[in-house]
Chains A and B, each alone.
Chain A
Amino acid sequence: MAHELSPPEQWLSLYGDVLYRYGLARVRDPELAEDLVQETFLAALKAQANYAGKASEQTWLIGILKHKMIDYFRKASRERTQEFDEQVVDEENDDCFDQQGSWKVDLSHWSKPEQSMQQDQFMQVLQQCIERLPKRMAQLFILREFDGLESEEICELMSIATMSNFWVMQSRTRVQLRHCLDINWINP
């Protein structure tokens, strides 16, 4: 079924907050996220004629926002230092494993994770746990897990020195996230 665009005057009230949330979760900077929303609407105005109606209006707008965001990451990562990555991949900086490399945190048993994860409550806790991650780790994680970018693309886009740094950061993120879920999600 083909979708149709609503009048541009209504876009802000219909999609302003959704786009803002989408952007903010990824760039982690309110001002920047606001700018991205504005740029998205302005670009959408110009591109209205190209809207083929295949995707819903919201998906179409998010697609434009995604492009704007990736442009931003590309520009920003040129000026970035690698300091944070070095800290994360530093062996000394690990609070989930002891010196022998054994688990230092509890891992409770999640019964039927596929089913219980379908619940809204789980998504809420997951969102909160992602918000608590350090900015850079959250960005890499969201780009990979939700937005489905390939590891190589992310390394290039975010100027990560080596693939192995990326994997170490992803691994740390997953351990932390899982631990946060363990503490905050009441597993049924």
Chain B
Amino acid sequence: MLTCKEASFLASKKLDKKLTLKERIDFSLHTAMCGLCKRYAKEINALHQLMKKVGKKDAIVLSESTKLSPKSRERIKQEIDKALHATE
């Protein structure tokens, strides 16, 4: 019988890679008996699906309060201007 730690590992691995037959059987046996691991597996799966969906729409992953500093903005602006003039 797997420990919860081992079962949580398989619940996670399952999202990145197909489990082997033995892993699948061990995992089902454990979650049939263990409500916590069953819950854990269900929730990280929901998280995984959500992130996949968000990811398709260019997930930014940082809050909107994070902005370029005025200094770096100015530097980048100058670089763009330089490149624009070079091509003219």
> Size of chain B's interface in residues, with CB distance under 8 A?
49
Query: How many angstroms from the CA of A163 to the CA of B42 in the assembled complex?
Result: 24
Chief secondary structure at chain B's binding surface: helix
A101 close to B4 (CB less than 8 A): yes
- Give how many A-B residue pairs fall within 8 Å (CB-CB): 150
Judged by a CB distance under 8 angstroms, whether B33 is at the interface is: no
Most buried by B among A9, A17, A34, A146: A146
B60 close to A21 (CB less than 8 A): yes
Chief secondary structure at chain A's binding surface: helix
A91 CB to closest chain B CB (Å) equals 9
B58 CB to closest chain A CB (Å) equals 5
A34 close to B68 (CB less than 8 A): yes
Query: How many angstroms from the CA of A21 to the CA of B44 in the assembled complex?
Result: 25
Given contacts A21-B62, A24-B62, 5 further A-B pairs with CB under 8 A are: A45-B87, A113-B43, A130-B61, A146-B55, A174-B12
Q: Show the binding face of A for B, using Cβ within 8 Å.
A: 8-9, 11-12, 16-18, 20-22, 24-26, 30, 34, 37-38, 41-42, 45, 58-59, 62, 94, 97, 100-103, 107, 109-110, 113-114, 117, 123-124, 127-128, 130-131, 142, 144-148, 151, 163, 166-168, 170-171, 174-175, 177-178, 181
